[in-house]
Amino acid sequence: MTQRDYRIRIIDPRLPSGQIAASDLAAIADGLQTIAHRLARHLAGASGRGRSPAIVERASQVMVVGLSSGSTFLECRLGDPETLDLPQFPDDVLGQQFEAIVAGIATNTPPTNTPPLVASAAQKLARQLRARFPDGSIEFTLPTSTVSTAVPDIDSSVWQMGKDMEPQHIAVSGVLNRID
């Protein structure tokens, strides 16, 4: 699998050069990881409950590989080079869709047909960014483009699921004989 590298630049007057609070870093990293994981599960046809196949876990792993100064720059990487591509789950599709979601957060334009669980994760990350950097701006450098925005302009409501997209809750009754 091919790795994809990303750079996130956070410009906030409250942040010392090249520094970020651990809680803010954790919120950003968790948001990106949740988006990648939910997207990978959707692409692999494993969106339901239960554990993800190990290959999906490795392919959707987001690693923070560096922090540099100037403004605060986070270097991130998506994927695992040791993971083989599956025919139904090519890595370029995961990377392209992940990048579309990240760009959609910055531009308030969710990609069409965004899965509901991915939209929910994107909405949560958008809210986290607004709460943690209310006076700042953010720039995502993707392999093919760079998108930037003032954080107060990020609108989490564009990721809200419509009534027809809400997940259905199903009750099942019976006897459980085995559990994995």
What's the pLDDT score for residue 89?
60
- Cα-Cα-Cα-Cα dihedral sign, residues 107, 112, 117, 120: positive
Mean of the per-residue pLDDT values for the chain?
84
pLDDT band at 173 (very low <50, low <70, confident <90, very high): confident
Q: Residue 101 above 90 pLDDT?
A: yes
**Section 165-174 average pLDDT:** 60
Nearest to residue 33, comparing CAs of 93, 98, 97, 89?
98
Give pLDDT tens digits for 62-77: 888 888 777 788 889 8
What's the pLDDT score for residue 60?
83
